[in-house]
Chains A and B, each alone.
Chain A
Amino acid sequence: MNQQEFSRRMFINSLGGIAAAAALGRIPGVSAAEGDALRYWAPGIAKVGAKDFSAMAAQAKIQIKNTAKSARADEAIQKMVVGDGQKLFDALTDNGGGMEDALAENKAIVELDTSRIPNWQNIIDVYHEGAPAADTLRYGGKVYAVPYISNADSMAYNYEALGFHPDSWGVMFDAQFKGRVALQNDFGPTLTNVAIYLQQSGKVEIKDAADMSPGEVKAVCEFLIGYKKKGQFRTFWDGFQNGVDLLASKEVVLSSCWEPIQLVARKKGVDVRYGTMKEGHQTWNNVVMLTKGGRQRGMDAAFYSLANVYLSPWFGARTVSGLGFAPQMKGVDVYLDAHPADFDAATRQNVKDIMARKAQRYAVAGNAWQNVFPKNMRAYQDWWSRLQAA
């Protein structure tokens, strides 16, 4: 059977197809306007004002090309240190505490010149040198990151179902709520919050709830395994939408979760509230960083403009009213009152309430700053897998 002509045509056809496809695939990348855009790797929570980054870009007077980033702690490290993140992105956000150290240590990000960020003057006191959160922006004493949001994570509860305002993590382990409790499906925040509870209530001796020894991790996990076996937990939620669903559908009445989850669940018509736990909370912030590649490409000016927006009350007022995250600069209250057209009276009052509750949570002595790379990471992972299997 002679296949020659057939084969030749087939060969040429497939080559043509590949070439056409390659050309087509390149279209999105080459639009001219993106030439000088800041290539920014960040999740949706890093923006306010519009459904995309256009309002942020307009405010900073730069162009932004955003790539969606997930909440996975490893991704940034992986891409920036062993991957090709340097080529892909000029700037990026982290996913919680300790990441800027790892990135700076590996020379993936560069030191910042805070004098190029006018609003740096305005940053909240906790970030000043020597203050509790100073290290979350610094590596070796030098500033490598600019914070854009922070919070003290707590517990959301369905007030209608509970009938009272809980003030202790202990309620999550109360037998009357068996099967109606959810925890976050992430060993970092979950183990830290439970460790804070066990430490402060004197049940287990724990030195540092954010950086436990293998023995302490074991004690915390065995405590959780006991309750899991009794059926105390309905599920561990993963991702924002899941967290909202569980509360809004009344599947659970108690959930350790992010504050925006509570806000959105509440908007869906269920009386979900966010408490202050007397034992303490895991506190955290998210930061933006300039990559080494970004500076080499001369994108530092654009980066500083964006960083300046993040420290402006314009951003702070919008992130707290929209998502409930704490602003990182002073003067948000003044800004709100000065812009009644953008923020109606109810919103302004709501923001004041949120800020007051935040101040309460931040004031609790037992709080611990998030640490995504604890020294005994392996113990955390292994014990978490035992909890999963229990």
Chain B
Amino acid sequence: MLQDYRNPWLYRGMWVYLLLLVGALLLPVFYTIYISFNEHGFGAQIYDFTWDWYRVMLGNTQIIDSLRWTLGLGAATVAIAVPMGLIAAKHYKRTRHKLVLVTLMLAPLFVPADILGSALLVYFKNLNRACNWLADTLGLEWIRTWFELGFGTALVGQVLWTVPYAFIVILITMSRYHAQQTEAARSCGATGWQAFWRVEFPQIRVGVASASAFVFILSFNEYTRTNLLKGGFDTFTTVLISHMFNTGMSEDSYAMAGTVSVISMLVVGGVLVWSLARVERLEREARAAATPLGSA
């Protein structure tokens, strides 16, 4: 579908501008990666290439331990936020109260991390006191530890942060799906589940997969809420921020910052490439079947 560009130079100029802007936004990230290989670290006047910071990082048990917590928290966040986003997106299609649902699902995007983190911290502390009181006065020992700061509370913070993205990504993919297909499947005798799993899900699978990748990366990069709500463990980014802001700055933070950047770029870049390849494959198949391509 080619346009008759009235001004091809403007068209090319816009492409250059677009790529320059992406490049500018990524500049600090690339700079961080570059610095993570400098023997003298951040802000130094000299540059000598070294792998040392990465070696130091991998030899630090605290960082490796925090990496395991990060992965655990990331996996749990994906396992909750993505199904939640999917259920909410399905619900959105059927409900009459669309505005209420959308407001609820997207609102956490608009509350800055420091503010939401502080509110949740005070909330959980109050709940914890209430549970302790109930445990003491009514002997309900089993509820005493429900709201103690820890994995669970950090998970709530992370799910709140990521679920809007999961919801919106899945919703966007679902909008490309035509409900008539489900009805057709049902008319042919499929159960509701079969219609979803065999017909709809394959078509929104890209959305679910990208949502999972994005949720994981968002969780991996999150620190403000996690730091306020985590209790007695550390994640990769909370160790990083404590290194950056404390008296105990150690050089492996360069490697840590580099690692976060590289992993994030690999995952997100991977999703981009994968979905691009998928579209090309579908287009090839479509061309082979000689079906004219409609506009999405």
| Chains A and B directly touch (beta carbon < 8 Å) | yes
Asked if B270 is at the interface (CB within 8 A of a chain A CB), the reply is no
A5 x B192 contact (CB < 8 A): yes
From B62, B63, B73, B128, residue with most partner A Cβ within 10 Å: B62
When C-beta atoms are compared, the residue in chain A nearest to B243 turns out to be A44
Q: How large is the interface on A (under 10, 10 to 19, 20 to 34, 35 or more residues)?
A: 35 or more
Taking the nearest CB of chain B, how far is it from the CB of A180, in angstroms?
A: 16
Q: A27-B68, A28-B68, A269-B45 are in contact. Are A66 and B62 (CB under 8 A)?
A: yes
A51 x B252 contact (CB < 8 A): yes
Which listed residue, B78, B86, B232, B253, touches A67 by the CB 8 Å rule? B232
Taking the nearest CB of chain B, how far is it from the CB of A6, in angstroms?
A: 4
When C-beta atoms are compared, the residue in chain B nearest to A66 turns out to be B62
* Separation of A20 and B149 alpha carbons in the complex (Å): 21
From B72, B87, B234, residue with most partner A Cβ within 10 Å: B72
Taking the nearest CB of chain A, how far is it from the CB of B266, in angstroms?
A: 21
Asked if B76 is at the interface (CB within 8 A of a chain A CB), the reply is yes
When C-beta atoms are compared, the residue in chain A nearest to B80 turns out to be A18
In chain A, positions 28-62 with a C-beta closer than 8 Å to chain B are 28-29, 39, 41, 43-47, 51-54
Q: Encode contact with B along A237-268: 1 for CB under 8 Å, 0 otherwise.
A: 01111001100110000000010100010011
Asked if B26 is at the interface (CB within 8 A of a chain A CB), the reply is no
Which listed residue, A3, A8, A28, A68, touches B238 by the CB 8 Å rule? A68
Asked if A176 is at the interface (CB within 8 A of a chain B CB), the reply is no
* Separation of A244 and B243 alpha carbons in the complex (Å): 13
B83 x A14 contact (CB < 8 A): yes
Asked if B142 is at the interface (CB within 8 A of a chain A CB), the reply is no
A84 x B128 contact (CB < 8 A): yes
Q: A10-B83, A21-B75, A51-B59 are in contact. Are A70 and B43 (CB under 8 A)?
A: no
Taking the nearest CB of chain B, how far is it from the CB of A35, in angstroms?
A: 15
Which residues of B are found within 8 Å of A27, using beta-carbon distances?
68, 72
* Separation of A8 and B77 alpha carbons in the complex (Å): 22
* Separation of A268 and B41 alpha carbons in the complex (Å): 8
* Separation of A379 and B239 alpha carbons in the complex (Å): 33
B192 x A239 contact (CB < 8 A): no
Taking the nearest CB of chain B, how far is it from the CB of A80, in angstroms?
A: 12
Q: Number of B interface residues, CB 8 Å?
A: 64
When C-beta atoms are compared, the residue in chain B nearest to A71 turns out to be B246
B80 x A244 contact (CB < 8 A): no
* Separation of A195 and B246 alpha carbons in the complex (Å): 25
Q: A39-B232, A258-B247 are in contact. Are A25 and B252 (CB under 8 A)?
A: no
Dominant secondary structure at the A interface: helix
Which listed residue, A7, A20, A44, A268, touches B248 by the CB 8 Å rule? A44
B246 x A4 contact (CB < 8 A): no
A1 x B69 contact (CB < 8 A): no
B75 x A44 contact (CB < 8 A): no
Asked if B245 is at the interface (CB within 8 A of a chain A CB), the reply is yes
Asked if B79 is at the interface (CB within 8 A of a chain A CB), the reply is yes
The 8 A-B residue pairs with the shortest CB-CB distance, nearest first, are: A44-B248, A21-B76, A88-B232, A239-B245, A5-B193, A17-B79, A25-B72, A68-B242
Residues on A lying within 8 angstroms of B by beta carbon are 1-10, 13-14, 17-18, 20-22, 24-29, 39, 41, 43-47, 51-54, 66-71, 82-84, 87-89, 238-241, 244-245, 248-249, 258, 260, 264, 267-270, 323
Residues on B lying within 8 angstroms of A by beta carbon are 40-46, 56, 59-63, 65, 68-69, 71-73, 75-80, 83-84, 86-87, 94, 125, 128, 148-149, 151, 155, 182, 186, 191-197, 227, 231-234, 238-239, 241-250, 252-253
